[in-house]
Chain A
């Protein structure tokens, strides 16, 4: 991306070496300015994929901050390292045979019950998710709450790097969300009905007509079509 403006340069430390980078850069763009060809620890660059999990510390601040490199603006004398990947156990399961109940974690992620409720996970989460709260919801068997609280999780893995109980929070949350989506989320009937219509070939004739219409007639039909934004 071409940034033609003369930006003020500030010092930051990447892998312990000082680099002067433009003020206002994100961690990712600052690293690129400093000459890093990013081959890992970078992804969508818009805060959705969780590939650019980073740890940093600020001058005069004891806290170890977790962030997404593409979303975090650098500050003077920041010390930065990226955590592109955290080895994390992933349970193997067949969603068809699991039940959406509390015991589901005893066979998949039993370490969930090791939670000390210390809340360290929430401190590091770049999405400001109440991680410990959703782990606790899982322990209590409240999968709906676990799914809701963890919804914005981008699975960057920072929570699991910091967890003193060594839980893989984000994988357990994904299982909770899948069970919620499959079994607990209340379903309406119309989708099944529409699929039945399709399987019965209800639209076949209409398709044949549209597909054989000359372009002119098709164009007219398109621009004349009704806009109807009601649901019924």
Chain B
């Protein structure tokens, strides 16, 4: 079992707990242990674009530093930091890039963080769990499949933060294929959605649900028109906006039919035939289980 540091971020231990548990189960099946950092704090939540307010970069730098110290002290097999949440990934990578490139900022932030045991040098490498899977290899993954998703029409959704800006994106920002490649390795029927890179509305969901409902409607209706039965995501906020806000979509568009939105790791668990207690299939607004039952992917 290879051990690699893992940073959860706040959502992954609360609302998106099942994303974490399913990812850990999948990783274990692939001989990886995601070791949660013993001390971690909020990533900062939104990347600060200001040039002079460095305070908002302290949180991500603290996380990057503690990951570095943790993997060194515990001799982990892989010193890179795995992240599941697209928002955390984006904030951590962009901040990392900033302190790698701007020595002055790095010094200032390190000076501010004098309580820490060491200085941060920019050396932590942050990767998304999807990137780890890509490294392990689609071929290896497909060998693990015991329960092919052959008759399931799945449309992957990316949103923004996994892909943009391109310096921190994990795939081609205009035409990503990483989720498609993954789903193909599970033998799923992949449905292309032209709006898979469209913004889900992000934090507007807190102040104006209608904006998010409108965006979600476009994204989901396009996927459905293309024949999708289920959507996968890799971001807790996207998942919330596309799943939970279907309630608001229905109020505005009575003709809309609901469609399940799940994390890609949940489908992986089904494909790998892992025990589903930790999959969290019951944690969705639109319950995916009737569909999965109909497709004979779940047992009663």
- Interface residues of A, Cβ cutoff 8 Å to B: 102, 115-119, 122-123, 130, 132-133, 136, 139-142, 164
What 0/1 pattern do residues 20 to 42 of B give for CB contact below 8 A with A? 00000000000000000001111
Tell whether A116 pairs with B115 under 8 Å between CB atoms, given A133-B39, A133-B41, A139-B42: no
Nearest 5 CB-CB pairs, A to B?
A117-B59, A117-B41, A136-B41, A118-B58, A140-B13
Q: Across the interface, do A141 and B13 meet the contact criterion of CB distance under 8 Å?
A: yes
The residues of B that contact A136 with a CB separation of less than 8 Å are 40-42
List 20 interface pairs A-B (beta carbons < 8 Å), by A numbering. Answer: A116-B44, A116-B55, A116-B58, A116-B59, A117-B41, A117-B42, A117-B58, A117-B62, A118-B112, A119-B58, A119-B115, A123-B115, A130-B39, A136-B41, A139-B10, A139-B42, A140-B10, A140-B14, A142-B13, A164-B55
Q: Across the interface, do A122 and B42 meet the contact criterion of CB distance under 8 Å?
A: no
The residues of A that contact B115 with a CB separation of less than 8 Å are 119, 122-123
Within 8 A of A (CB), among B50-93: 55-56, 58-59, 62
Q: Across the interface, do B62 and A119 meet the contact criterion of CB distance under 8 Å?
A: yes
Partner of B41, one of A102, A123, A132, A142: A132
The residues of A that contact B112 with a CB separation of less than 8 Å are 118
> 11 new A-B pairs (CB below 8 Å) besides A115-B41, A118-B58, A136-B40?
A102-B14, A115-B42, A116-B55, A116-B59, A117-B41, A118-B59, A119-B58, A136-B41, A139-B10, A139-B42, A141-B13
CA distance A140 to B17 in the complex (A): 11
Is the CB of B133 closer than 8 A to any CB of chain A? no
CA distance A141 to B59 in the complex (A): 18
The residues of B that contact A142 with a CB separation of less than 8 Å are 13
CA distance A81 to B8 in the complex (A): 41
Q: Which residue of A is nearest B8, CB measured? A: A140
Q: Which residue of B is nearest A119, CB measured? A: B115
Q: What distance in Å separates the Cβ of A212 from its nearest Cβ neighbour in chain B?
A: 61
Q: Which residue of B is nearest A133, CB measured? A: B39
Q: Which residue of A is nearest B56, CB measured? A: A116
Is the CB of B178 closer than 8 A to any CB of chain A? no
CA distance A139 to B58 in the complex (A): 17
Q: What distance in Å separates the Cβ of A193 from its nearest Cβ neighbour in chain B?
A: 36
Q: Which residue of B is nearest A130, CB measured? A: B39
Judged by DSSP, the binding face of A is: loop
CA distance A122 to B44 in the complex (A): 18
Q: Which residue of B is nearest A103, CB measured? A: B14
CA distance A142 to B59 in the complex (A): 19
Interface centre among A102, A117, A130 (most CB of B within 10 A): A117
CA distance A116 to B55 in the complex (A): 8
Partner of A117, one of B13, B14, B44: B44
Q: Which residue of A is nearest B54, CB measured? A: A118
CA distance A132 to B62 in the complex (A): 11
CA distance A136 to B113 in the complex (A): 17
Q: What distance in Å separates the Cβ of A201 from its nearest Cβ neighbour in chain B?
A: 49
Q: What distance in Å separates the Cβ of B19 from its nearest Cβ neighbour in chain A?
A: 14
CA distance A141 to B12 in the complex (A): 11
CA distance A136 to B42 in the complex (A): 7
CA distance A1 to B13 in the complex (A): 54
CA distance A142 to B58 in the complex (A): 22
What 0/1 pattern do residues 207 to 240 of B give for CB contact below 8 A with A? 0000000000000000000000000000000000
What 0/1 pattern do residues 258 to 271 of B give for CB contact below 8 A with A? 00000000000000
The residues of B that contact A139 with a CB separation of less than 8 Å are 10, 42
Q: Which residue of A is nearest B61, CB measured? A: A117
The residues of B that contact A164 with a CB separation of less than 8 Å are 55
Interface centre among B39, B40, B41, B62 (most CB of A within 10 A): B41
CA distance A21 to B41 in the complex (A): 43
CA distance A136 to B44 in the complex (A): 11
The residues of A that contact B44 with a CB separation of less than 8 Å are 116-117
Q: What distance in Å separates the Cβ of B7 from its nearest Cβ neighbour in chain A?
A: 12
CA distance A104 to B55 in the complex (A): 27
CA distance A132 to B63 in the complex (A): 13
Q: Across the interface, do A118 and B55 meet the contact criterion of CB distance under 8 Å?
A: yes
The residues of B that contact A117 with a CB separation of less than 8 Å are 41-42, 44, 58-59, 62
The residues of B that contact A132 with a CB separation of less than 8 Å are 41
Q: What distance in Å separates the Cβ of A202 from its nearest Cβ neighbour in chain B?
A: 46
CA distance A61 to B58 in the complex (A): 22
CA distance A133 to B37 in the complex (A): 12
CA distance A132 to B58 in the complex (A): 12
Q: What distance in Å separates the Cβ of B133 from its nearest Cβ neighbour in chain A?
A: 26
